[in-house]
Amino acid sequence: MAKYRTERDFLGKVEVPSDAYYGAETERAKELFHVSGMRVRSEFIKTYAIVKRSAAIANMKVGKLDRKKGAAIVRACDEIINGKLDDQFVVDVFQAGAGTNTNMNLNEVAANRAIEILGGKKGDYKLIHPNDHVNMSQSTNDTYPATMHISTYLALTTKLVPELELLRKAMQRKAREFAEIPKIGRTHLQDAVPLFLGDEFAGYEASIERQLEHVKKSADSLLSLSLGGTAVGTGIEASRAYSKAIVAEIDRFTKAKFRLARNFFDIQQSSSEEEWVGSALKDLAIALNKIANDLRLMSSGPVAGFSDIILPPVMPGSSIMPGKINPSVPEMLNMVCFDVIGKSTTIEHAIEGGQLELNVYMPIISHNLLSSIDLLSRSIGIFTKRCVSGIKANEERLSGNLEKDISIATALAPYIGYAKASEIAKQARKEGKTVKAIALEKKLMPAKELEKLLDPKRMIKKE
């Protein structure tokens, strides 16, 4: 059996491996773009196959595609969706602009598998042609943006949103668990007035909830599709009936609520929805980074640091220091956040770089969006299960710190004035005594009254 088959495109002959389902254009892209070694993400490929099968069904419904050929294309696409042909998608992430190489990779693989289904041999494009049949009523310029929208929406709603919900609930449980545990507050990394440890975690819960709503709203913006817009948004070679039929089929298959875009030109020109999602992911990464940093600070020590909380030990922390435990999970989350923030910058520049009727940088936009969502989803899941859910309050340390806290002198200010309260705090620091001890020495008020006034729990106001 020959190791290669000869195919032709308008540039000439191309030798394609005889067992490959892809064809000439994919082979050219594979040979030309040896860049990163990273292939287009599998979830993007499978979503593109959903678009292709939906296009075949739509074209059959409007009477444009022969039903026998259409059924073979649908069957081939179903195999792609189920992962049976994963090794046939060989194009590098960094490829020709607009994603034409990825589109043709899909077209060729679906065509050649459909040819086999009809009893033919790979490369016999008289039976099923990659452009004429699989790509019927389509262009890269309308199918690629649609695939970006669909794959990103599904990744956000099925992966990231559920993990954020679990993290929010974990923070809520900790807020309740720590609700009556007072501690020293800190501003400027210096001691401040007391608060409950639960207050801090309630703040983290609110932050996650706000970011969750941002992510959900950005996902909703992706529901508009420009399928049938073809090359520039005018709908050349695609009917309005086809556009309605393909979106309806995608809806049925994904069980989502996709709709036909009000303006095809906007979707194909701007990629503004992807910018909103990228911004939401960046904002989420910034918020998570802050929370991870706080947990690292609050667990620092255990002797020379804050040691307010105890993180679950997950692994040894040093190759030389026995018994050392590091905040490994928050550190992992920090690194993911840095990466997502960097990817967001790439997305912003790529979207800003779009010109006229098309953004040619869609491949790197889609790759970074899906990569960021995947990284955040996985890392948040680990952070919730292996860190947040197991956090314990170091109540002995918190109580001891409160006794020595000079900022508690703030409670005296309304009764003796700011200046006198400052003198007591200064003296307490200088002599290494508590504020209460200095106040008793100065006989500012009866001991019972002073005890009540300087009770940290009393100082913490609840709305």
Give the active site residue among 318, 319, 344, 371. Answer: 318
Q: Are 26 and 123 in contact (CB under 8 A)?
A: no
Peptide bond into 446 cis (omega under 30): no
Q: Are 412 and 197 in contact (CB under 8 A)?
A: no
Cβ within 8 Å of residue 404, ≥6 positions away: 434
**Range 210-216 contact pairs with CB under 8 angstroms and sequence separation of 24 or more:** 210/287, 211/164, 211/280, 211/283, 211/284, 211/287, 211/288, 212/161, 212/164, 212/165, 212/168, 214/280, 214/283, 214/284, 215/156, 215/160, 215/161, 215/164, 215/280, 215/281, 215/284, 216/156, 216/161
Tokens encoding 364 = 């790197």
Amino acid letter, residue 50 = I
Q: Helix, strand, or coil here: 100?
A: helix
**Exposure string over 149-164, b if 16+ CB within 10 A, otherwise e:** bbbbbbbbbebbbebb
Helices (H), 271-316: 272-298
Tokens encoding 152 = 């990103």
Q: Is 318 a catalytic residue?
A: yes
Compute the distance between CA of residue 449 and CA of residue 461 in angstroms, rounded to an integer.
18
Count of CB atoms situated within 10 Å of the CB of 238: 25
Give the number of C-alpha atoms closer than 13 A to the C-alpha of residue 196, restricted to the C-beta side: 18
Compute the distance between CA of residue 65 and CA of residue 86 in angstroms, rounded to an integer.
26
DSSP string of 420-437? HHHHHHHHHHHHT--HHH
Residues annotated catalytic, as ranges: 318
